[in-house]
Amino acid sequence: MSILKVKSSTLRSLAQTMLLLLWSTMAAWAGEPKGPSSQGTNIFAPASTPAKSIADLSVFVLVITGIIFLVVFALLVYSVVKFRGRAKDAGREPAQVYGSTQIELAWTIIPILIVVVLFLATARVIHAIQDAPEPAGALDVIAIGHQYWWEFRYPKLGIVTANELHIPVSDPNHPTPTFLQLLSADTDHSFWVPELAGKTDLIPNHPNSMWIDPQRTGVFLGQCAQYCGTQHAKMLLRISVDQTDDFGAWVRAQQKPAVEDAGAIAGRRVFERNACMNCHQVGGTPADGRFGPDLTHLMSRATIAAGATENTHDNLRLWIQNPGAIKPGCLMPAMKLSDPDLDAVVSYMETLN
């Protein structure tokens, strides 16, 4: 281990420089305009401990492999240039060399040493991330992957929501990490928010877990990374990392049952008369389906259709009228509502804040 310590400390400053270089390159590539508060999806811009330790390890591995590349590439170029056939040698064969035990030994032993160093550095990070104990102040969330959306349940808080996960920011001195239990309702999915952690799959009959402790607020983007069916591409993820107070306010709002607005009673009737209620839940009403996202506080979400489009009046109307127009192949059927019914349901949805 002492060799490793020396190696990693001498390489740390080099690693930091490389990291900065990479960041700036990546930032340049990712320079297209973004929403004001949303973050990118760059694995070298970590905002949470697991993503940070992975980024550090990655830079270490990049430096070592980079050095190997330079050495071998230099040897290759040198031998191609130096030993190119020349006209004056035509017809003569070079010295026939069959091998050399010393050289073979050298280029066996050096790679073995490199592998030992890389493995020890990696094993340390594996252990630190995978075997981290759950502290008392941690938030528990159950994430359930569905074809093609995310269900989030907060068992201790009694909240159910979809696609947009809200969690508190974690102060490194008083960490409040979020521990996610990952389940699947149908096929395999994978939970990937690159700036917060590496990905972990959601597999039916095979509960997994992961944790994140974001250290800055904002909306972090990600999406399903394991091919799960037709609309795998539009199974997007948003994690809103809130200040502790904002998070508390959000929790209290989500814990309330759905708003009962007398003005939207016509829309509610359409919703409950049609098959909508078989798949969707609206807290405090007879609608208690679980096949689709919970709609109790639909208007508290910035997007619909698992992040496929913004939650605006027109998009909501289009989505209910013809989901295939936004996500062809998604599992929500077009209910073929008449225009008055459609407008009524949209008005009802817009009261669910």
Partner 1 sequence: MASDAITLPVGQIEAKPWVDELHQWLTTVDHKRLGILYIASSLLFLAIGGVEALIIRIQLIHSHNNFVSPEVFNRMFTMHGTTMIFFVAMPILFGFANYLVPLMIGARDMAFPRLNAFSFWLSFLGGLLLYFSFLGGSGLYGAGSAPDVGWWSYAPLGSRAFSPGHSSDYWTLALLVSGFGSIGTAINIIATILCLRCPGMKLNRMPLLAWLNLVMAGMVLIAITPLSAAQIMLLIDRYLGGHFFDTQAGGSAVLWMHFFWIFGHPEVYILIIPCFAFMSEIIPVFSRKPIFGYPVMVAATVCIAFVSMSVWAHHIFTIGMNSYANSFFTLTTMVVGIPTGIKIFNWIGTMWGGRIQFKTAMLFSIAFLFQFLIAGLTGIMMAASPFDWQLSLSYFVVAHFHYVIVGGILFALFAAFYYWYPKMTGRMLSERLGNWHFWLFFIGFHLTFDVMHIPGILGMPRRIYTYEPGRGWDTLNLLITIGAFIQALAILLFVANLIISYFKGARAGNDPWDAWTLEWSTSSPPPAYNFATVPTVTSRRPLWDLKHPEDPDSRYE
Q: List the interface residues with partner 1, window 203-232 (CB under 8 A).
A: 203-206, 208-209, 221-232
Among 80, 133, 245, 338, which residue interacts with partner 1 (rule: CB under 8 A)? 80
Decide: is 99 part of the binding site for partner 1 (CB under 8 A).
Answer: yes
Stretch that binds partner 1, among 10-18, 233-241, 285-293, 314-322 (CB under 8 A): 233-241
Among 1, 2, 13, 95, which residue interacts with partner 1 (rule: CB under 8 A)? 95
CB 344 to partner 1: min, Å:
31
Inter-axis angle of helices 2-29 and 49-82, to 10 degrees? Answer: 90
Stretch that binds partner 1, among 10-18, 101-109, 239-247, 345-353 (CB under 8 A): 101-109
- Which of residues 26 and 251 has its CB atom nearest to partner 1 in the complex? 26
User: For residues 25-37, b (16+ Cβ closer than 10 Å) or e, as one string?
Assistant: eeeeeeeeeeeee
DSSP 154-182: ETTTTEEEESEEEEE--BTTB---EEEEE
Decide: is 61 part of the binding site for partner 1 (CB under 8 A).
Answer: yes
CB 103 to partner 1: min, Å:
7
Decide: is 291 part of the binding site for partner 1 (CB under 8 A).
Answer: no
Distance separating alpha carbons of residues 331 and 122, to the nearest angstrom: 41
Residue 182 forms beta bridges with which residues? 143, 208
- Which of residues 86 and 174 has its CB atom nearest to partner 1 in the complex? 86
- Which of residues 236 and 270 has its CB atom nearest to partner 1 in the complex? 236
Among 100, 102, 173, 338, which residue interacts with partner 1 (rule: CB under 8 A)? 100
Residue 309 forms beta bridges with which residues? 304
Among positions 151-190, residues that touch partner 1 (CB under 8 A) are: 182, 186-188, 190
Provide the mask over 259-288, with x wherever binding to partner 1 is found by CB under 8 A and - wherever it is not.
------------------------------
Distance separating alpha carbons of residues 18 and 269, to the nearest angstrom: 61
Largest interatomic CA distance in the chain: 99
How close are the terminal C-alpha atoms of the chain, in Å? 56
Stretch that binds partner 1, among 58-66, 156-164, 252-260, 335-343 (CB under 8 A): 58-66
- Which of residues 30 and 265 has its CB atom nearest to partner 1 in the complex? 30
Token pair belonging to 221: 């983007």
> Do 226 and 207 touch, CB atoms closer than 8 A?
no
Q: Determine how β-strand 178-184 pairs with β-strand 139-146.
A: parallel
Residue 209 forms beta bridges with which residues? 181
Site size toward partner 1 (CB under 8 A) is 96
Decide: is 36 part of the binding site for partner 1 (CB under 8 A).
Answer: no
- Which of residues 115 and 275 has its CB atom nearest to partner 1 in the complex? 115
Among positions 236-255, residues that touch partner 1 (CB under 8 A) are: 236
Provide the mask over 127-146, with x wherever binding to partner 1 is found by CB under 8 A and - wherever it is not.
x-xxx---------------
- Which of residues 29 and 291 has its CB atom nearest to partner 1 in the complex? 29
Torsion 190-18-217-172 (CA) sign: positive
Stretch that binds partner 1, among 104-112, 166-174, 276-284, 310-318 (CB under 8 A): 104-112
| Of the candidates 82, 347, 26, the residue with the CA atom closest to the CA atom of residue 195 | 26
Decide: is 34 part of the binding site for partner 1 (CB under 8 A).
Answer: yes
Q: Between the CA of residue 192 and those of 145, 223, 236, 259, what are the distances in Å?
A: 12, 6, 10, 33
Among 1, 98, 133, 245, which residue interacts with partner 1 (rule: CB under 8 A)? 98
- Which of residues 184 and 347 has its CB atom nearest to partner 1 in the complex? 184
Residues in the chain: 353
Q: Between the CA of residue 101 and those of 38, 72, 105, 115, 256, what are the distances in Å?
A: 58, 19, 6, 21, 76
Decide: is 87 part of the binding site for partner 1 (CB under 8 A).
Answer: no
| Of the candidates 170, 245, 150, the residue with the CA atom closest to the CA atom of residue 212 | 170
